[in-house]
Structure 1
Amino acid sequence: MAASREIDLSGLELDLGFDIDLNGFLGLDKSVRNGAQAININIKMTSDTANRQELEDLVKDLPKHSPIHDTLANPVEITARLV
């Protein structure tokens, strides 16, 4: 997506974290899901061809183009099998 905007990235770092309620994770409260309630991504991009606003616009548009975002944001069928 950066290339289509003629933005050359010289660096890209992602710092991912998530919010989880331990009451659900530890099974202490059945009304609380045991998975993450939120995923937080801090993105550090460096570029010699883009200014701060252009990089912010790139980050803002990521949900529309990212297969990882789409996978995490929408229900996905999961199949588990013993092989």
Structure 2
Amino acid sequence: MRMFHFEPFSETFPANKETRHICDEVKEKTKTTYEVFQAAEYRVQQQEPLYLIKVKTDDNDYLHLIVYVLFIGLLTTR
């Protein structure tokens, strides 16, 4: 298993097409049903293809995903 070395993340950005796509892929893999599962904002680590994505799951609830993008179409979450 690869150990992540967390360098500083970028500033926070509103969710974009790429982060919404990543969020949709994660939603398909989860075994939990959420009322909403929508990327709200994200930060990225420049040295690694590593995203920290804030995901809205209800009116007042959010999850934070750490997603390491291995290749296009293949991702790992922690």
How does the TM-score come out when normalised to structure 2?
Answer: 0.32
Greater strand proportion: 2
Greater helix proportion: 1
Larger relative contact order (C-alpha < 8 A, sep ≥ 6)? 1
Q: Which has the larger radius of gyration?
A: 1
